[in-house]
Amino acid sequence: MPKRKSLIRPRTIAFVLQSGLCCYCGCPMWSENPTEFITKCGITRRQAKDLQCTGEHLEAHKDGGTVVQSNIAAACRICNQGRHRRKVAPSPDSYKQLVSSRMAKKRWHQPWVFQKLLPAFQVD
Ligand SMILES: [Zn+2]
């Protein structure tokens, strides 16, 4: 088996292209170092983990999705894990719809995301 290609570069590029926002929930993420993020939001290091930027395979690796830039988006850890934890991963579009409707009800992330993170970044 060939070694899996590194996600770091495409993830970093996607992070910049998306202005640091998760492709599903739209929340601000951090990429290299959480310290500034933690200070700005007044959250714990553990909480910050939820919003760490991860490289999301739009077409899952197990379905043949490869590490090419067009197949990698930047997603927060919660959204990335949530999608692939399902038996059949929903398509990126239908998953995004699901996440948006939960976000609108403030029922996707932990309460601190709505109480601290979004106000700190002035995202509605
Ligand atoms: Zn997200």
Band (pLDDT 50/70/90 cuts) for residue 39 is: very high
The sign of the torsion formed by the CA atoms of 18, 23, 27, 30 equals: negative
Backbone φ, ψ for residue 77 (5° rounding): -60, -40
Residue 48: which of 59, 37, 40 has the closest Cα? 37
75 alpha carbon – ligand 1 mean position (Å): 5
- Domains in the chain and their CATH numbers? 8-116 (1.10.30)
The CA-based dihedral angle spanning residues 69, 75, 81, 83, taken in that order and rounded to the nearest 10 degrees: -80
pLDDT at 58: 94
Ligand 1 centroid from CA 5, angstroms: 23
Reply yes or no on whether the pLDDT at 102 is more than 90.
Answer: yes
* Distance of CA 1 from the midpoint of ligand 1 (Å): 31
Q: How far is the CA of 97 from the centre of ligand 1 (A)?
A: 12
pLDDT band, very low/low/confident/very high, at 106 (cuts 50, 70, 90): very high
* CB 77, CB 51: distance < 8 Å: yes
Contacts of 68 (CB under 8 A, 6+ apart): 10
For 21, phi then psi, to 5°, come to -105, 145
d(CA 36, CA 111): 20
pLDDT band for position 88 (cuts 50, 70, 90): confident
